[in-house]
Amino acid sequence: MLTAADNQLLTQTGPGTPMGELFRRFWLPALLPSELPEPDCAPVRLRMLGEDLIAWRNTDGSYGVMQNACPHRGASMFFGRNEENGLRCVYHGWKFDVEGSCVDMPNEPAESNFKHKIKAAAYPAAHWGGFIWVYMGPRAVQPELPHYDWCLTENPNRTYYKWMQESNYLQGLEGNIDSSHASFLHRFFDMDHPWNTNRTRRGTLLFEHGAPQLTAKETEFGFIYGAQRTLQTGEYYWRVTPYVLPVYTVIPNPGGEGGGFFVLPRDDKTSWWFTISPRGAQLAAMPDAPPYVELEPGSWRQSANKDNDYLIDREAQRKVNYTGLPTNRVQDGAVTESMGPVMDRTAEHLASADLAIIFMRRTLLKLARQLQQGIEPEFSKHPEWARVWPIDAVNSENNLGDLWQRYHSTIFSEGVVKARGSVQR
Answer with the one of 141, 163, 188 that is the final residue of a domain: 141
Plot region of 243 (φ>0 → left; ψ -120 to 50 → alpha; else → beta): beta
Same domain as 200, residue 65: no
Q: Express as a percent the part of the chain with pLDDT over 90.
A: 77
Based on its alpha-carbon atoms, the radius of gyration of the chain, rounded to whole angstroms, reads: 23
pLDDT of res. 417: 35
Q: How far apart are CA 195 and CA 191, in angstroms?
A: 9
pLDDT of res. 425: 22
Answer with the one of 108, 141, 174 that is the final residue of a domain: 141
Question: What burial letters (b/e) apply to 355-380, b meaning 16+ CB within 10 Å?
Answer: bbbebbbebbbebbeebeeeebbebb
Same domain as 79, residue 58: yes
pLDDT of res. 199: 64
Q: How far apart are CA 48 and CA 50, in angstroms?
A: 5
If one counts the domains in the chain, the total is 2
Same domain as 350, residue 230: yes
Of 410, 385, 412, 380, nearest to 395 (Cα)? Answer: 410
Same domain as 273, residue 220: yes
Q: What pLDDT digit, counting tens, does each position of 10-53 carry?
A: 999 999 999 999 999 999 999 999 999 999 999 999 999 999 99
pLDDT of res. 90: 98
- Average per-residue pLDDT in the chain? 92
Give 412 or 349, the one with higher predicted confidence.
349
Same domain as 109, residue 240: no
Residue 405 included in any domain: yes
Domain that holds residue 49: 29-141
Q: How confident is the model at residue 423 (pLDDT cuts 50, 70, 90)?
A: very low
Answer with the one of 93, 125, 141 that is the final residue of a domain: 141
Collapsing DSSP states into helix, strand and coil, what is residue 376? coil
- Give the dihedral sign, CA 78/124/50/251: positive
Q: How far apart are CA 303 and CA 295, in angstroms?
A: 5
Dihedrals phi, psi of 395, to nearest 5 degrees: -160, -170
According to DSSP, the residues that pair with 88 across neighbouring strands are 81, 95
Whole-model pTM? 0.93
- pLDDT of 79 > 70? The answer is yes
pLDDT of res. 241: 94
Same domain as 176, residue 133: no
Give me the mean pLDDT over the 71-99 stretch: 98
Same domain as 158, residue 227: yes
Same domain as 223, residue 173: yes
Q: What pLDDT digit, counting tens, does each position of 274-333 carry?
A: 999 988 888 777 777 888 999 999 999 999 999 999 999 999 999 999 999 999 999 999
Give me the mean pLDDT over the 223-248 stretch: 93
Q: What pLDDT digit, counting tens, does each position of 167-187 carry?
A: 999 999 999 999 899 889 999
- pLDDT of 255 > 70? The answer is no
Residue 104 maps to which CATH number?
2.102.10.10
Residue 16 included in any domain: no
Q: How confident is the model at residue 415 (pLDDT cuts 50, 70, 90)?
A: very low
pLDDT of res. 416: 43
Same domain as 269, residue 134: no
Of 263, 258, 291, 261, nearest to 275 (Cα)? Answer: 261
Residue 283 included in any domain: yes
Collapsing DSSP states into helix, strand and coil, what is residue 78? helix
Residue 163 maps to which CATH number?
3.90.380.10
Q: How confident is the model at residue 203 (pLDDT cuts 50, 70, 90)?
A: low
Same domain as 179, residue 124: no
Same domain as 321, residue 232: yes
79-88, 190-199, 363-372, 393-402: the lowest-pLDDT one:
190-199
Give me the mean pLDDT over the 123-138 stretch: 97
pLDDT of res. 419: 34
Question: How many CB atoms are located within 10 Å of the residue 30 CB?
Answer: 26
- pLDDT of 60 > 70? The answer is yes
Q: Express as a percent the part of the chain with pLDDT over 70.
A: 94
Same domain as 136, residue 91: yes
Q: How many helices (H) and strands (E) does the chain have?
A: 11, 19
Give me the mean pLDDT over the 54-71 stretch: 98
- pLDDT of 54 > 60? The answer is yes
Give 280 or 74, the one with higher predicted confidence.
74
